[in-house]
Amino acid sequence: MPVFLLIRHGENDYVKKGRMAGRAVGIHLNESGRHQAQALAERLKDAPIKAIYSSPLERALETAAPLAQTLSLEVIPRPGLIETDIGEWAGKTFKSLSRLKVWRAVQFTPSRVRFPGGESFQETQFRICQEIETLSTQHDLKDLIACFSHADPIKMAVAYYLGMPLDTFQRLMVSTGSITALMIGEHGSRLLTLNFDPSLNFSKP
């Protein structure tokens, strides 16, 4: 069964300020995000990763770059790993959006929501899972694959492969720079880790 490391991009100023980025271009990692990318590379430097795929947005590509350099692998952009298209909500703050009547539906019944001028949550989940299925056919059963993406697509993929209703995916947490590992197989899927912070150090000082 291939193991997918679903890695959320590092921090950027939109995340720090509570602003929805969506698919906006030109959003780069901030200093904290660059540290997270380096921590990922350090943590995974000995992992037998066969390929590195990434959302084509800058913040994901920049997070993948240190690991690719460490492992001497190419970062392969994959549109299927891109962030949800949030349409007219791009650039708006969570605080302002939380005042809208539809915000409650986004949190508790997202399966019924489509972003104005953008995707529905169902379309995002279908897209990310279709991408994972496509990539799984291009690798051997025992391959370890790194995919750099975004919070909601990762959470929706986890929900799908665990058999969780889409309306419960918001209960999952996927922080910036975190690793979520999924083993995908013909006879079922296994969640190996969720939202692991590679910068954690459990050694004695």
pLDDT bucket at 9, cuts 50 / 70 / 90: very high
Predicted model pTM: 0.95
* pLDDT higher than threshold 60 for residue 10: yes
* pLDDT higher than threshold 90 for residue 1: no
* pLDDT higher than threshold 80 for residue 85: yes
H-type helices in the chain, by residue range?
Answer: 13-16, 31-43, 58-71, 94-97, 102-108, 121-136, 151-161
pLDDT at 102: 95
- CA-to-CA distance for 198 and 179, rounded, in angstroms? 7
pLDDT bucket at 35, cuts 50 / 70 / 90: very high
- Domain borders along the chain are 3-196
* pLDDT higher than threshold 90 for residue 65: yes
Look at the domain 3-196 and name its fold. Answer: Rossmann fold (3.40.50)
- CA-to-CA distance for 58 and 109, rounded, in angstroms? 30
Identify how many contiguous H helices and E strands the chain contains and give both numbers. 7, 6
Q: What is the pLDDT of residues 37-58, one digit of tens each?
A: 999 999 999 999 999 999 999 9
* pLDDT higher than threshold 80 for residue 67: yes
| Residue 130: exposure state from Cβ atoms within 10 A (0-12, 13-18, ≥19) | exposed
* pLDDT higher than threshold 90 for residue 106: yes
pLDDT over 90 for what percent of the chain? 92
